[in-house]
Amino acid sequence: MSVRIKFCGFTRAADAALAAALGVHAIGVVHVPGSKRHVPLDAMPAIRAAVPAHIDLVALFVNPDADTVRAVMAALQPSLLQFHGDEADAFCTQFGMPFIKAMAMGEGAGDIGLRQKDYPSAQAFVLDGHVPGQLGGQGERFAWAGLPILDKPIYLAGGLHAGNVAEAIRTVTPFAVDASSGIESAPGVKDADKMRDFIRAARADGR
C-alpha cells in the first residue's frame, strides 16, 4: 500500500480545498490556543465544507478539556481526533470517535515501545519531533533510524518537507507522513507549490 499523506495546520478553507484536490488522505485543523495555526470555532464550518467526505478531517488538540473537544466536534465535524499533549487513553476514548495519539520524539522521549502500551485505544501514533517548551508543529525532525516496530500504524511527523520525505519513507516505512510547516509560506498559510512538491516526492518513493 502506498504511503498516506496528512497535511496539517490549515487555517484557510481555500488551502484545504487545494490540498484535497491534490489528493491528500487527511487534512488537519489545529484547535490549540497559543498556536499560530489555531482555528477558532466560527472558522471551522468553512473548512469542513471545503473537505470532501472521503478525506479524513482531523481535529488536533493539546491537553483540551472535554467541553472544548465536544465544541470542536460540533463545529468541524471531524472524522478523526488527534491528541498532541499528555492526554490519557481514558480521556481520549470518551468522545466515541477514533483518535490518533502523538508521541514526542527526540531527547528525553523515553522508550516508545513501552509508552505505546498506555494507549490501547489509539488508532495510530503520530511520532513528532519535539522542541522542549513548545507546543508542536515546530518543524523539528528527529532521528528516524532504529525506531522499534510499534503495535499500531505510524504517522511520521516533524520537519518533513519535499526534500526529505522520500528518505523518511524509505527509513521508517510509515503508514502515513504528516507535514505542516514544511508546506507553508508562513504559519497557517499553505503554499501550493510546496504541497505539490511534497506529494510528488512522497509518491516517487514508489510504495
Question: Does 182 participate in binding ligand LGQLAAA5 (rule CB under 6 A)?
Answer: yes
Rounded to the nearest angstrom, the gap between the alpha carbon of residue 86 and the centroid of all alpha carbons in its chain is 16
| C-alpha dist (Å) from residue 68 to 30, 63, 172, 186 | 12, 10, 34, 27
Count the Cβ atoms, other than its own, within 10 Å of residue 173: 14
Question: Does 30 participate in binding ligand LGQLAAA5 (rule CB under 6 A)?
Answer: yes
Question: Does 139 participate in binding ligand LGQLAAA5 (rule CB under 6 A)?
Answer: yes
Q: Which of 103, 137, 144, 198 forms a contact with ligand LGQLAAA5 (CB under 6 A)?
A: 137
The mark string for 94-123 relative to ligand LGQLAAA5 (x by CB under 6 A, - otherwise) is ------------------------------
Q: Which of 69, 92, 127, 157 forms a contact with ligand LGQLAAA5 (CB under 6 A)?
A: 157
The residue with cell 482555528 is 39
Q: Which of 44, 47, 59, 62 forms a contact with ligand LGQLAAA5 (CB under 6 A)?
A: 62
Q: How far is the CB of 186 from ligand LGQLAAA5 (least distance, A)?
A: 12
| C-alpha dist (Å) from residue 16 to 9, 27, 61, 191, 192 | 10, 7, 18, 11, 11
Question: Does 158 participate in binding ligand LGQLAAA5 (rule CB under 6 A)?
Answer: yes
Report the b/e string of 54-86 with b at 16+ CB within 10 A: ebbbbbbbbebeeeebeebeebbebbbbbbbbe
Q: Which residue ranges make up the site for ligand LGQLAAA5 (CB under 6 A)?
A: 8-9, 28, 30, 32, 35-37, 60, 62, 84, 126, 128, 135-140, 157-160, 178-182
